[in-house]
Amino acid sequence: MRRPSSVFFLLFLISLTHLSAQSFKGGLKGGLVASEVSGDHLAGPNKFGFFGSAFTMYPIAEHSYLQMEVMYIQKGSRSVPKDENQYFDYRFSLQYLEVPLLFVQDIGAWSLFLEGLLLHGGFSISKLIAYDETENGASIVSPINSNYKAMEANLLLGFSYPLSNSLYATFGYSNSLTPIRPHASGQSTWKNHGQYNSVWTLGFSYIIW
């Protein structure tokens, strides 16, 4: 059931881009990612990666849009070896196919100083497509650490600043609403069911049509 749900979102996005070329806007987005995993007892974000997406925007009111994307994104956590941690080298890499659904508001109508600035917020569903975890160069394999959740729900917030009519600088933050896997200890409470991704993105988006 999980794989068909991802295919459904992809087909839905493709169909949206063909409904009305005059009403829809669309383009590409990409950039850098800084991430950490809550509950891994590491300070962060120290894990760096990249993301790329295709998106479409549909106007639902004056200065307001509904935006949908199909995104590839790298998440995880990292411990950089140094004196303070006895040169502990830890790498936790997660790769997702993610489908964000966002409400986008052009706040330039409220202030000329903020002309063209876009705020966005919404949710996404992610499908885990690859993972890797190493400690001092050796792969970590255990029943608990390997119990990854195939799907992840996220909360997203951010803004885009116009550099030209079609090019925007973008900043975003997202946090898991559902755990990506249990704690290594196996413990769980009513408000903390495991480890969660926290992600910051910085990049560019370009409106093609």
Note the pLDDT tens digit of each residue in 12-29.
655 555 554 457 889 999
**pLDDT: which is higher, 88 or 195:** 195
pLDDT confidence bin for 73, thresholds 50/70/90 = very high
In this predicted structure, the answer to whether residue 153 has a pLDDT above a threshold of 50 is yes
**DSSP letter, residue 6:** H
pLDDT given for residue 1 in this prediction: 46
| Radius of gyration over every alpha carbon of the chain, rounded to an integer in angstroms | 19
One of 3.30.1490, 2.40.50, 2.40.160, 3.40.50 is the CATH number of 2-207, namely 2.40.160
Bridge partners (DSSP) listed for residue 66: 58, 103
| Residue range 172-183: mean pLDDT, rounded | 92
**pLDDT: which is higher, 168 or 4:** 168
The tokens describing 86, both together, are 């006895």
The tokens describing 141, both together, are 């394999």
The tokens describing 38, both together, are 């809550």
**pTM of the predicted model as reported, rounded to 2 decimal places:** 0.82
**pLDDT: which is higher, 1 or 188:** 188
In this predicted structure, the answer to whether residue 66 has a pLDDT above a threshold of 60 is yes
